[in-house]
Amino acid sequence: MIVFDLQCGDNHVFEAWFGSSADYEEQREKGLVSCPICGSGDISKALMAPAVGTKGNRKKDGSGVAGDKAVSVSNTNPDPAQMKAVLESLAKEQAKALENSDYVGDKFADEARAMHDGEIDERPIHGQTTIEDAKSLVEDGVPVAPLPLPVRPPKSDN
């Protein structure tokens, strides 16, 4: 797997994982990559810091010697509190984006295609569909994008 920092035309930066660079290019060309913040399909790779491995003179505990001073290599695992804050922020942004969207459940592919074909009025919708139906929509030029976080159907909360 490879992780890229991506950026949409509105300068929203987000992270996405792909099997390879070729997978990223193929998915982007098919319109399967979109901004999770605004839904834009105008996506390009953003500048990112390279991942640099530790030097061979490091001990297993992460310490080493630089000149005559002992140094410690910091752990690159994300801080749980920071991750929680990021996920909470993402959840709030997704909820805000869905405020004026109709939940159509498993009729998503049919509704999206009908709007695209001019059979029904366009409106923001969200729901669920199969991977095959989503790929078919994208191949037919229907503008769809996956939501970054799961959505509970309305009235499903206790």
DSSP 10-76: T--EEEEEESSHHHHHHHHHTT----TTT----EEEPP-PPP-PPPTT--TTSEEEETTEEEEPPP-
Segment 90-127, tens digit of pLDDT: 889 998 989 999 999 999 999 999 999 999 999 999 99
**Residue % of the chain over a pLDDT of 70:** 78
Length of the chain, please?
158
pTM: 0.49
Tokens encoding 19: 């099997």
Segment 12-52, tens digit of pLDDT: 888 888 878 888 888 888 888 888 888 888 998 876 655 55
Tokens encoding 71: 């140094």
pLDDT, residue 157, reads 63
Give the CA-trace dihedral at 119, 120, 121, 124, to 10 degrees: -120
Tokens encoding 51: 């991942």
